[in-house]
Amino acid sequence: MSITAFGIDLGTTNTVVVKSTSDGALDALPLGDGEDARRTHPSVIAFEPTYDRGRMELAMETGAKAISLAAAYPEDFRYVQSFKSHVASAAFAGTTIFGKRFDLAGIFGCFLRRSGIADTINATDGPKRIVVGRPVVFYGDKPDEDLALSRYRDGFKAAGIEDFDFVLEPIGGAFSFFRTVRSNVTVLIADFGGGTSDFVVVRFRLTGSRVKTEVLSHAGIGIAGDTFDARIIENALVRHFGADSHYRENGKRLPVPRSYYSALARWHQMTLLRAPKFLRELEIIQRASEAPEQIARLIYAIDHNQGLAISRAVSGAKAELSDRDSADLTLDLGELQVRETITRADFESWIADDVARIAERVDETLIRSGLSDGAIDKVFLTGGTSFVPAINALFTDRFGAGKVSAGERFSSVAEGLSLVGHEDDIAYWATA
């Protein structure tokens, strides 16, 4: 029986959907509308209030179009990015967007519908399987896995997709890799996303025309590209917004609370600070501040929804550091003009502890597999953060450059997930 399988890699930063057929043909689907359609679709959604006969409705855009509209009209659009980072957090119950309350499942559903994912899948005739990737470990200090999976299910259900299977995201990377080698091989897969980094050791063995696969171990950690962005903000930007300043209250000299700058560094939390309560607190601090102009910049950035501008400037500098020894971080927020030159050496010192924790998870994955480094035949890297030289060096230094390879770094996981959709026992690949 011919089956169409869809692999959905709903990433923190980008979403990719790949369709495959029983004969092994793969097709990455363009998501979005017209000229804005992309096979790598940014996992973002922008809401705009519209009015018809005095009644307010919310128009929505996703992907590249959402980014361009929110960047051009930051005060007219409510922009939501990295919503996957909240999926395992009970502390995030929902958010209010232009007076309308959304829980996280509702945001997922809106994204799946407006991006075209739901319509494409639901319009496909004949037998089909839908495979949705999930990280080995969800993002957050104390992630609630059951809550995360229930929010996924509710979000897909809201988009009209009720029958699907979860599969570990690095397993998708493993299947994508094996499709290119087709030989007996034991491989370490490292999947680096925006919110999480996941690792799995898989053994593939050919027996005639059939393939025997065995997962030997897996591990993950909630550190990846978004964390590296936060380190740039913490070290190169927050001082321009008064992070090291003080204010006076009841005769005491007090530092400005770090919580404001934690939200600035993880900018998708900035929208929470737009609540009147927090803005009033900042205005009180500004009046008593020793650096009122810097606090004014912080208030401006929050009140005028400048999180996207900050994010784009930081991620652009980070990408440039993958190819050069230094990069200019340029930020234009009206009266605030910031230009910082960041060296790769500085950046690598800022992320050194994070890279060390990632290395510990690689150690853990190998220990659980019972294999030595020499027993790993190949190392396959996927995901945008694998471009970071310090991350790449983790593997080339340890296993040798000859063993390390990379596929199409943004579509590999979705390709593999769609291939898993043709396996008899999909549930085997779903357990963390």
Concatenating the DSSP letter of every residue in 358-386 gives HHHHHHHHHHHHT--GGG--EEEEESGGG
Q: Report the range of poorest mean pLDDT among 115-119, 213-217, 307-311, 399-403.
A: 307-311
pLDDT at 164 over 60: yes
pLDDT at 389 over 70: yes
Question: What is the pLDDT, as a whole number, of residue 432?
Answer: 53
The span from the CA of 7 to the CA of 174, in Å, is 13
Of residues 272 and 375, more confidently modeled = 375
Confidence class of residue 409 from pLDDT cuts 50, 70 and 90? low
349-366: average pLDDT = 97
pLDDT at 284 over 90: yes
**Packed helices 169-181 and 412-420: angle between N→C axes, nearest 10 degrees:** 90
Q: What percent of the chain clears pLDDT 70, i.e. is strictly above it?
A: 97
pLDDT tens sequence across 232-245: 999 999 999 999 99
DSSP at 289: B
**Structure tokens of 196?**
């999480």
- Mean pLDDT, the chain, rounded, equals 89
**Structure tokens of 401?**
């450059």
Question: What is the pLDDT, as a whole number, of residue 128?
Answer: 92
Classify strands 252-255 and 246-249 as parallel, antiparallel or unpaired.
antiparallel
Identity of the highest mean pLDDT range in 77-86, 171-180, 311-320: 311-320
Concatenating the DSSP letter of every residue in 225-239 gives HHHHHHHHIIIIIGG
Q: Please choose, from the candidates 61, 31, 68, the residue with its C-alpha nearest in 3D space to the C-alpha of residue 46.
A: 61
pTM, entire model: 0.84
**Structure tokens of 66?**
């959402």
Confidence class of residue 394 from pLDDT cuts 50, 70 and 90? very high
Question: What is the pLDDT, as a whole number, of residue 217?
Answer: 94
Concatenating the DSSP letter of every residue in 326-348 gives EEEEEEEETTEEEEEEEEHHHHH
Identity of the highest mean pLDDT range in 29-38, 189-198, 339-348: 339-348
182-211: average pLDDT = 87
Question: What is the pLDDT, as a whole number, of residue 180?
Answer: 75
